[in-house]
Every structure is written in C-alpha cells, then in structure tokens.
Amino acid sequence: MNGSFQEFPSGKLIRILSERSKQSSALHRQFLQLRQNGLQNTKTLIELQLKSQALPGFRDTHSALRRVLFDGPQLEEFGTGKISNCLGPAFAVYDHRRMPRIPNGDLRMMSRITAVEGRLRDFNHPASITAEYDVPADGWFLQNGDPTNLPCSIVMEIALQPCGFLSAYLDTYALLPDGDFYFRNLDGTLNRVGAVDVRCKTIVTRAKLISSVVSGGTAIQKFSFELTCEGKTLYRGESVFGYFPAHVMANQVGLDGGQKVLPWLKTLPDRLAAGRMTAASRWMPSPGSRAGLSLTPGRMNFLEDVYVSPTGGRFGKGYVYAGQPVDPQAWYFPYHFYQDPVMPGSLGIEAVLEAVKIWALENHAAAGMRSPHFVTSAGEPAMT
C-alpha cells in the first residue's frame, strides 16, 4: 500500500488489543476497589458518629476516630459481668469471686476510657487514667434548672469512678489475700473551678494514683483528679479509697467511736419547742415555684420529714434534722454495687445538702434576691 500506513499481521494486532484490554480492565478494577474502600471508610466514620450521637442531642466534642481503650459495653461488663471480659484474661482468676465493682446502669458515669498509664501490679511508679462521660441533654439528674451546676453527687461519681477503675486495672486485688473485699470511699476534697453548660457535651476526667498503703489485709489508696469540659477546668480534688475484708467491715464503730450519741433534737425535753416540722415535698418544683429555689425531684429526692430550727443546735446558729426510711427497693441499690448493694456515699452527701437547702428555704434566706438559686461558688470547696 502507498503512504506511511503499514499493515500489521492480524494475529499481532489482536494480541496488542487484548493486552491493552487487560490493562484497562485491571485499572478499572483498581479504581472500583479504591472507590469501594472509600465508601467503606465513609460508612465506618458515619457509624462512629452515629454511635457517639446515640444520646439525643449529644454533640461529641472530640474526633469520632479518637482512641478508645474500654468502651461502654466493656465498662458495663466490669460492673455486672465477668471482670476478664473487660480487663482481659489475666483477670479471669477473679471472675468467680465477689470482687469490688464500678457502678452500673444509670449510676455509671463513664462512657469510655481513652488512656491509662501504669503497669500491672506496679504501685511504686506513677499511674493515671483518662475517662470521658457524655452528658445527655435530659439526664435524670439535670432537673435543678441550672445546666452549669450539676448535683454534687453526680460530680463526685464522674470524678471518682475512674479512680476505682484505675485501681482495678492495676490489679490492686493482688495486694490482698484471697477472700471477699469491700471497696469504700473514705475521704476527699472537691473544689469547683469553673462552669460550663454540660448538656450534650463530654466531661473528661483525668485521675492519678498518688499512693498505695497495705496493712493488716487492708489497702488504702489516694488519688487526685481534674474534670474538664471543652478544655475548661470544672473541678479539682483528691480522694481516698479503701479495700476492706469482711471482718474489718463488720467491726467498724463509726465516727462516734462506738458511743451512742443522740442528735441535739432528741436531747430536748420538748423536741418541737424550738422549731417546726416540715415535709421535703413542699419544696419540690410546682407550676408556680421558682426553679432556682426548688429541690431536685424524682431520684434526687432523699428526704421526707424535716425539722428546722432557726436558732437551734449546739451553737444556737440554726439546726436541721431530716430523714427518710430505708427502702430495700430503692432505685440505686441494683446499680451500686453488683453483689454489694449499698447507698452511694455521694447520694448521702446529696441528702445532707438537700437538708441545708431546706433550712435556707424555711428561714427565707433568699428574701430580697432577684434571681436566687443554689450553686457552689467557683473557687470555694464544693465538698471536704
């Protein structure tokens, strides 16, 4: 043929076209695989975001792909199931013993653990933990009308539960002889530093183990902690916990050293002469009440009858005496603790604060104030 065009043998031409077709198919398959991988990554990201938004209105303040060491189901397993299902096979030896647990259900104030520093059974070097709690928009404890002022008991649980988990993670049980032990909070301080509307946000607790002392089959540990939200410090404090064998718990004599000490009210000839009896329900929210001065209703109501005296007590500065019958079916017993149902000490402190509020309300302490409400002042101890 004339011109520059050259004939190719038909077999060779078919081979060239076939090779190019194969290359094109391979490239297309690679493209489809990359696209599939991208879609899968997007799916995973969306699932993680949806998981973090499982609570209505919750806005995760951290990356959806942040590191999580222990998630909610694992923490719940530690609360009511096998410890090894949370902490690993090394802890299987405790699965069939009655061991100290963290609160579970509605009293578990940890959503996840994101960091732990420390070595198993090493109590001579620093150890720390970082835990997060996703505050729901309508949590059962957010009924006081001030979302920047969580109930003191809830703050205590958010602060102290990571300390208990760190103690377990380090295997403090190994310091103690075999047998049943009880885990109790003994002492502590809580100082309010700042305030944030925590609804639909994450509170981060960072706690450190300060010391461990073992004596007579009992272990005492001290921790420090700090609570933050959106990078702002809310609370700082310290706390002391103890592991006690059954016989030590049975021989506790109480703060009065085993002596029977009557309340001031019951030492009076006429117990009602210096004050008046009122019902705590009087100060629960109502359509016409001022939310800032109401007590928290529902699960946070721990008192029934309250005796108030404006000038009573040993020092004549005022006195309040309140109580509530113990209900074996109370909502908190199943949550605190598994196999060791006791009223949380934090809720006992909440009851004391509730009595103080009733004293203030009964004696018109807020008279003349434009917008009164109960709150712990920043910079002042919330609890000691």
**Residues known to be catalytic:** 336
Alpha helices in the chain (DSSP H): 10-52, 72-80, 84-87, 152-169, 246-250, 345-362
CA-wise closest residue to 226 among 201, 205, 209, 211: 205
Cα-based distances in Å from 102 to 79, 96, 126, 133, 233: 5, 17, 22, 14, 24
- In 3-state terms, what secondary structure has residue 381? strand
- How many angstroms separate the CA atoms of 317 and 375, rounded? 22
CA-wise closest residue to 91 among 100, 159, 30: 100
Q: Residue 186 belongs to what H/E stretch?
A: strand 181-192
Cα-based distances in Å from 82 to 12, 95, 108, 164: 70, 5, 17, 16
- How many angstroms separate the CA atoms of 220 and 224, rounded? 14
Query: What residue type is 151 in one-letter code?
Result: P
* DSSP designation for 117: E
